[in-house]
Structure 1
Amino acid sequence: MSRIAFGTGGWRATRERFTDENVRMVGQGVATYLTETQGVEPSEKPVAVGYDARETSADAAASLADVLSSNGFDVLLTNRDLPTPVIAYSVVNRDLAGALIVTASHNPPEYNGVKFVPGDAKSAVPSITDAIEAHIAPPKVFPEEKHGTVSRFNPVDSHRTHALELTDRYFDTDLSNLTVVYDAIHGSGRGITDELLESAGATVIRHRCDRDPTFGGNAPEPNPETLAELPGIVDAHDADLGIANDGDADRITVCTPDRGVLSGHLLFATIYEALLGDASVTGSAIRTVSTTFLIDRIADMHGTEVHEVPVGFKWIADGMATYNGLFGGEESGGFTIDGHIGTKDGVLVALLAAAVASSEPIDSRLDRLFETYGEIHADKVSVDCPDEQKDAVISSLEAELPDIVAGQSVVDTVSLDGYKLLLEDGSWILIRPSGTEPKMRLYAETPTSGRLESLLDAGSELIVAHREQEC
């Protein structure tokens, strides 16, 4: 059973490992975890099961529903592929035992996976996923009279109502002055995020809002490469904003008329600064170690704090609860806000971003941010590294941390998640193992645009050198 392991976003695997047998064993692991570890009485607490737009997702969800119902749980199975956060919100809204979602999020089409959402709808922490892993086994056979029911449900309306009410707490949700291009990348945000924006009054131009299990042959990740057409469409329609979700719509990227596709760093800074612009609103920011220090400068100017956590939304959710956070997120485009569940939500945050843009264009906001707090230039790359070598690469790096990177002295080191090397000129690089793919991740930030490429080159060379040592 050791080949089924839960990482940053649940269990993910390529087609040869994402088999019906393995999916059913994961379902049994969750059923046993709920009954034996959590003490849930199956007849009292239903479980939701949902899925994304991938080719194998609907069948896998049906298999999970079958295993859970055979263990005595009543199962609420979504009536179509839906965004992960919409399903996650139904857990608290309907007081469910939890949810299982068949998704590989932004991974390439050849991947699929299963994510578990616990009863509090926070991203599952290692103590939960470790317990599930310990219970993974072939499905148990119970008498038919002890089986639960499987019924279809649609949680979209309740999530939409919540998103509108929560956004209205902070911003004006009348978007009648806004034209938005929405790009679903053929994923589960289609018909959900765009209709939420329309319900707030926005004019929505749809792009790639049809289901395609291959996502057009690309990974459904809303990065500049995947969204290469979006700036041109925004320009052609004289739109105020472009918005894109990843495959299961738990992440968001925005595109502005002047700057094109924005990084998650800049979207985080824009929304957080807009929230603090209301004198009645205050609260700390929770950001991952891979996310910009621009957030810290904004918080400091407004007399509040930033709490840095490891990469993985479970740590953001934990930080939001521990420190009464106002806004939490990561550079990869996952965010949540006070009053919402501890799960990243690209649907809700699309509405937040649109409300921010409706009151003042995001390009204008960023002009002010850079003038006030200084510019940032940031990017990330991935370097191939087999899963079995990741720990050794990090250990090797720890034993030989450099004193100089790209011509700048290392003045401090952060080891929350991998190694973040802080440099004398305010730049930094972070090297950490991916939790979802056989790769090492490299992140870099600098106040000077001309330095970014040299930082990424230097970091990549470090990774390759330590990887080769372990071969």
Structure 2
Amino acid sequence: MDIEFGTDGWRTTTESFTGARIRAVGQAVVDHLRAAGEDAPVAVGYDPRAGSRSAAEELCRVLCAGGFDAIVPPRDTPTPIVAWTVTDRDLAGALQVTASHNPPTDNGIKFIPADGAPALPDVTDRLAAELKPPEPLAEPEWGSVEETDLIEPYIEHALAFVDADLEGRTIAYDGMHGSGRGVTNRLLARAGADVEARREDADPEFGGTAPEPTPEHLVDLAQMVENDGAELGIANDGDADRIAVVTPDRGVVDPNWLFAALYDYCLGTDDGDAVRTVSTTFLIDRIAEAHGQAVHETPVGFKWVADAMKEHDALLGGEESGGFGIGGHLRNKDGVLLALAVAAAHSEEPLDDRLDRIREEYGDIVQDRRSVDCPDDRKAAVLEGLAADLPETVAGTEVERVGRDDGFKLLLDDGSWLLVRPSGTEPKLRIYAEAETRERLAELLAAGEALVEPLL
């Protein structure tokens, strides 16, 4: 059956998101959990897309027929809340019906193991190999379905976990019609903030755009911060595992800089290493070094970040796409709790002031990426071609070291870097670069394109 688990679950078009495929994924999870000796209930969550609730109900039927009790919320629920519930209630795992920030024409399923972290490839490969129609047990062995709210217990936990007094703060929140609506803003309000919310209605079409909190999708939120009196803006993607932040001076904050601000805030009360992906800023390394901490680099994908967070007992993990997880809470991306943490950091020191201070203390960085079309069946050959003839200099600067954890990361002796890696979700190569000026950044990105184009 044509189902592939990518960097974060199975995603596909709604046309391919058929009942037969949904049931096959459910049966694969039943077989996997049974083989692992699990017998605790399984949570089944879903986002507000058309068909997500019915797909969740289909998964519940398969789980129950396989002998597992299922827990399902009465409304669409953020992925991180479902993941946290797994750890809080000692569940066998969870299935979340969502395509995250993909367009409304897509849907998908994430499997979350018992530790609440993203499933690693050894698990998802096993699921993909076990796809088959349901094999129900005898009816007396069937499990049952419990419909229960997952949001309020999570909010109580979040308020206890993050020390946030937001009295007197005015925060604008953009739910983007996703699962964070009525949840993230509710959490902020419970912490004392005056929250002005927009796109608060459930819309399976997400207003006609992908529920991805990028600058072009957050124009109105930026307007609320710039002109309408809100001192901070916060947005979540479709399943609320990612976060974007808007400030008066910067507009939508670059996620690399947001990571730096969060790590700076967390280090104010605790010690701990950081984990970042190969495509995420070295600014994190500078902050860690100044505090006597270490940084651990991983391939792109939060599953690798979560795994390294466990190995190194990290304080914070993150990636340049706006996904962050705090150690001691959940080894998974969580745009809901991180919204509270960002607001708490801003309450302690205005976020623009904090970012200015970080720039003064650790230096400036700018980062960007470009995408180059590359069929999936050509990616390996392109990487082999790069490996056979890696340059000694890039844009006139000597290559000091080459990282090979995910594609090729060329670290230059002026502190800048260039990364070429295959996309895990599209027929493209990604070219990332980081430098201290935009002029230098443009040179590096152009050099990256020139490296790969002859190999395509």
Determine if the TM-score, normalized by the shorter chain, exceeds 0.5. yes
Cα deviation, 1:19-71, whole Å, max 9, x if unaligned, reads 111111111111100002x1123xxx111101112112112111111111111
Question: How far apart are residue 401 of structure 1 and its match?
Answer: 2.1
Q: Which residue of 1 aligns with 2:4?
A: 5
CA distance in 2, matches of 1:177, 1:459: 48
Question: How far apart are residue 10 of structure 1 and its match?
Answer: 0.7
**Aligned AA for 2:218?**
L
**Aligned AA for 1:394?**
L
**Aligned AA for 2:84?**
Y
CA distance in 2, matches of 1:27, 1:344: 23
Counterpart pick for 1:338 among 321, 327, 335: 327
CA distance in 1, matches of 2:218, 2:156: 29
**Aligned AA for 2:141?**
K
CA distance in 2, matches of 1:200, 1:40: 37
- Count of equivalent residues: 456
Say which SS state the counterpart of residue 194 (structure 1) adopts.
helix
**Aligned AA for 1:87?**
V
Q: Tell me whether 1:454 sits opposite 2:443 in the alignment.
A: yes
Question: How far apart are residue 177 of structure 1 and its match?
Answer: 2.5
Identity within the alignment, %: 55
CA distance in 1, matches of 2:145, 2:55: 14
Q: Tell me whether 1:263 sits opposite 2:239 in the alignment.
A: no
Within 5 A, what are the aligned runs for 1:125-136? 125-136=120-131
Say which SS state the counterpart of residue 143 (structure 2) adopts.
coil
Counterpart pick for 1:81 among 73, 76, 79: 76
CA contact (8 A) 1:70 1:144 kept: yes
The change in CA–CA distance for 1:181 and 1:337 in structure 2 (over 3 A counts) is same
CA distance in 1, matches of 2:62, 2:437: 54
Question: How far apart are residue 259 of structure 1 and its match?
Answer: 0.6
Question: How far apart are residue 385 of structure 1 and its match?
Answer: 2.9
Question: How far apart are residue 113 of structure 1 and its match?
Answer: 0.9
**Aligned AA for 2:103?**
P
Q: Tell me whether 1:440 sits opposite 2:439 in the alignment.
A: no
Q: Which residue of 1 aligns with 2:355?
A: 366
Within 5 A, what are the aligned runs for 1:378-393? 378-393=367-382
CA contact (8 A) 2:369 2:430 kept: yes
CA distance in 1, matches of 2:452, 2:106: 25
Q: Which residue of 2 aligns with 1:426?
A: 415
Say which SS state the counterpart of residue 119 (structure 1) adopts.
coil
Q: Tell me whether 1:152 sits opposite 2:147 in the alignment.
A: yes
Counterpart pick for 1:51 among 43, 46, 59: 46
CA contact (8 A) 1:177 1:358 kept: no
Cα deviation, 1:270-301, whole Å, max 9, x if unaligned, reads 011122234xx211111111110001111111
Tell me whether 298-307 or 428-437 shows the greater mean CA deviation.
428-437
Question: How far apart are residue 218 of structure 1 and its match?
Answer: 1.9
Say which SS state the counterpart of residue 317 (structure 1) adopts.
helix
Say which SS state the counterpart of residue 225 (structure 1) adopts.
helix
CA distance in 1, matches of 2:428, 2:313: 34
Cα deviation, 1:144-200, whole Å, max 9, x if unaligned, reads 2222112212110111111111112xxxx1101211111111111000001000000
Question: How far apart are residue 235 of structure 1 and its match?
Answer: 1.5
CA distance in 2, matches of 1:149, 1:181: 41
CA distance in 2, matches of 1:204, 1:465: 52
**Structure 2 unaligned blocks of 5 or more:** none
Say which SS state the counterpart of residue 389 (structure 1) adopts.
helix
Q: Which residue of 2 aligns with 1:39?
A: 37
Say which SS state the counterpart of residue 245 (structure 2) adopts.
strand
Q: Which residue of 2 aligns with 1:121?
A: 116
**Aligned AA for 2:298?**
V
Say which SS state the counterpart of residue 141 (structure 1) adopts.
coil
Counterpart pick for 1:210 among 201, 213, 216: 201
Cα deviation, 1:174-231, whole Å, max 9, x if unaligned, reads 1012111111111110000010000000111112122222222222111122223322
CA contact (8 A) 1:182 1:194 kept: yes
Q: Which residue of 1 aligns with 2:138?
A: 143
Root-mean-square deviation (CA, aligned residues, Å) is 1.5
CA distance in 2, matches of 1:339, 1:174: 20
CA distance in 2, matches of 1:242, 1:451: 30
Question: How far apart are residue 321 of structure 1 and its match?
Answer: 1.4
Question: How far apart are residue 346 of structure 1 and its match?
Answer: 0.4
CA contact (8 A) 2:8 2:303 kept: no
Tell me whether 442-451 or 189-198 shows the greater mean CA deviation.
442-451
**Aligned AA for 1:238?**
G
Tell me whether 310-319 or 436-445 shows the greater mean CA deviation.
436-445
CA distance in 2, matches of 1:463, 1:181: 42
The change in CA–CA distance for 1:441 and 1:219 in structure 2 (over 3 A counts) is farther
Q: Tell me whether 1:253 sits opposite 2:244 in the alignment.
A: yes
**4+ long deviations beyond 6 Å:** none
**Aligned AA for 2:342?**
A
Counterpart pick for 1:310 among 299, 306, 310: 299
Q: Which residue of 2 aligns with 1:327?
A: 316
Q: Which residue of 1 aligns with 2:339?
A: 350
Say which SS state the counterpart of residue 246 (structure 2) adopts.
strand
CA contact (8 A) 2:62 2:136 kept: no
Question: How far apart are residue 410 of structure 1 and its match?
Answer: 2.2
Say which SS state the counterpart of residue 11 (structure 2) adopts.
strand
Tell me whether 9-18 or 377-386 shows the greater mean CA deviation.
377-386
CA contact (8 A) 1:285 1:327 kept: yes
The change in CA–CA distance for 1:268 and 1:8 in structure 2 (over 3 A counts) is same
Within 5 A, what are the aligned runs for 1:59-74? 59-74=54-69
Q: Tell me whether 1:184 sits opposite 2:175 in the alignment.
A: yes
**Structure 1 unaligned blocks of 5 or more:** none
CA distance in 1, matches of 2:371, 2:15: 23
The change in CA–CA distance for 1:22 and 1:386 in structure 2 (over 3 A counts) is farther
CA distance in 2, matches of 1:234, 1:463: 41
The change in CA–CA distance for 1:389 and 1:81 in structure 2 (over 3 A counts) is farther
Structure 2 length normalisation: TM-score? Answer: 0.96
